[in-house]
Structure 1
């Protein structure tokens, strides 16, 4: 059986290392909006009009595009002196360049929302 979560309220996503993101639920509309992000459009076609990025590069670019749409706040992100940083698109991109953070976001948010949870037959 498919379990639908119809909540439209943002929720906190724990990415480990003391980092939490307040994210909107991942919807079809958000994925379609992310696909229209200029970074994705630029990355998918090179100057000659042929496909350019690897699957890994595209996953990183898509994760950043989605995050720039859905992340509404963050906790546990600071500068070199430990002073909390304001949420910015550039900050989100920089955060997702950190491998453990990217992997947690990819696994817990993007893949987690795309995998349909099924109940076993009792």
Structure 2
């Protein structure tokens, strides 16, 4: 059975390592907006003689594009002097370059939507 969460309010997503993100729900509108991100467009348009982006590269690019749209706040992210950093697009990209954080974001946030998509097409 498909369980609908009709709330469109942001919620906290615990990524471990003391990091939490305040994220908007992952909706069709978010995924469509992420699709038009220049990095995704560049990765999916292969010029003659060039190699296509690997699935891993594409997953990283998509996760960053989605995160830049949905992350509204965070906790547990600071500079080298442990001062909290504000949420910025470059900060989100840097955060998702940390493997355990990327994996947690993929698993806890993006994978739910992808699993639903697989079930629909299965």
Q: Same fold (TM over 0.5)?
A: yes
Unaligned runs of 5+ in 1: none
Aligned to 2:7, what secondary structure does the other structure show?
coil
- What is the Cα deviation at residue 115 of structure 1? 2.8
- What is the Cα deviation at residue 34 of structure 1? 0.3
Higher deviation after alignment, 46-55 or 95-104: 46-55
Give distance in 2, aligned partners of 1:101 and 1:15.
6
The equivalent residue for 1:74 is 74
- What is the Cα deviation at residue 50 of structure 1? 5.9
TM-score, scaled relative to structure 2: 0.90
The equivalent residue for 1:45 is 45
Aligned to 2:39, what secondary structure does the other structure show?
helix
- What is the Cα deviation at residue 112 of structure 1? 2.1
How big is the alpha-carbon RMSD for the aligned residues of Structure 1 and Structure 2?
A: 1.6
Q: Deviations over 1:14-48 (max 9, x none)?
A: 00000000000000110011011001001112343
Tell which has more relative contact order, 1 or 2 (C-alpha 8 A, sep 6+).
1
The equivalent residue for 1:55 is 55
Give distance in 1, aligned partners of 2:11 and 2:26.
11
Aligned to 2:73, what secondary structure does the other structure show?
strand
Give distance in 1, aligned partners of 2:53 and 2:82.
35
TM-score, scaled relative to structure 1: 0.90
The equivalent residue for 2:115 is 115
Report how many aligned residue pairs link the two structures: 117
